[in-house]
Amino acid sequence: METLKQYKWKQMKKEIIIYGKRVVQYLLTKHPSLLREFYILKGKRFKEFKPYLKGVIVKFIDNRTAQRMSRGGNHQGFLAKIEWDYNPPTITGRFILILDRVTDMGNIGAITRTAYCLGVDLLIVTGIKKLKWETIIRTSAGAGLDMPILVESNLLDLINRLKGKGYLVVGAERGGESKISASKIALILGNEGEGLSGKVRKRLDKILTIELKREFDSLNVSTAAAILIDRIANGN
């Protein structure tokens, strides 16, 4: 049964600006129906984009306008306005990745890209109220348009539900195993500063570890995610 919150999310459509040549190209080739307006910096060549722009409003803009629209970001002369309709996915699939209190949207975007490319079925973000979709879509090179992403407020409750669905709940921490396999896995990564909380650790079925060859504090969370996702997805 749908909750009121899910119903409201399904009704939420908003226009957002994305920018950068690679992400705009991904949008045009994979999701042209989302495009509302296409912006090009005056003087930029866009021959490779022309086959995808039939019936699309194209506007040539100066760099000042482009900088304002991209909020000072590296737009590379290509921007697009899209209508984004967020539909919360259901909890399903063989491999679920959970980010606990990872608040940096650039990291979430990088992880989204890796998760999508390596076959994660669902990305769940906990410990934050909402996502900045413009940043996630851009920093994931467009993969945020295709990767099922769910925001959950209560991680402990989520763990209980996952176990009820038959998932092996695994946390990324020191002192664990180097390889883990199961028919259904939910991998939890904490933020770089604090890692996983004590309450979360107590609920884990197993711990998965990256053995560092040199003494160092930790890996960036997006780097750690890439290593562990590949290890689970491909048995490396």
- pLDDT digit string (tens) for 21-38? 999 999 999 999 999 999
CATH topology of domain 4-85: 60s Ribosomal Protein L30; Chain: A; (3.30.1330)
Give the right CATH number for 95-234 from 3.40.1280.10, 3.40.50.2300, 2.60.40.10, 3.90.870.40.
3.40.1280.10
Query: Residue 24: CB partners within 8 Å, gap ≥ 6?
Result: 18, 38, 49, 78, 79, 80
Task: Answer for the pair 123, 136: CB distance below 8 angstroms, yes or no.
Answer: no
Topology agreement, domain 4-85 and domain 95-234: no
Confidence of residue 93 (pLDDT cuts 50, 70, 90): very high
φ, ψ for residue 188 (rounded to 5)?
Answer: -110, 130
Confidence of residue 213 (pLDDT cuts 50, 70, 90): confident
Mean pLDDT of the chain: 89
What confidence score (pLDDT) does residue 59 get?
Answer: 95
What confidence score (pLDDT) does residue 1 get?
Answer: 39
Query: Residue 9: CB partners within 8 Å, gap ≥ 6?
Result: 86, 87, 88
Task: Answer for the pair 39, 66: CB distance below 8 angstroms, yes or no.
Answer: yes
184 pLDDT exceeds 80?
yes
What confidence score (pLDDT) does residue 195 get?
Answer: 82
What confidence score (pLDDT) does residue 173 get?
Answer: 87
Query: Residue 119: CB partners within 8 Å, gap ≥ 6?
Result: 95, 233
Nearest CA to 44 out of 25, 18, 57, 62 is that of: 62
What confidence score (pLDDT) does residue 81 get?
Answer: 95
φ, ψ for residue 78 (rounded to 5)?
Answer: -130, 125
3 pLDDT exceeds 70?
no
Task: Note the pTM of the prediction, 2 decimals.
Answer: 0.89
What confidence score (pLDDT) does residue 211 get?
Answer: 83
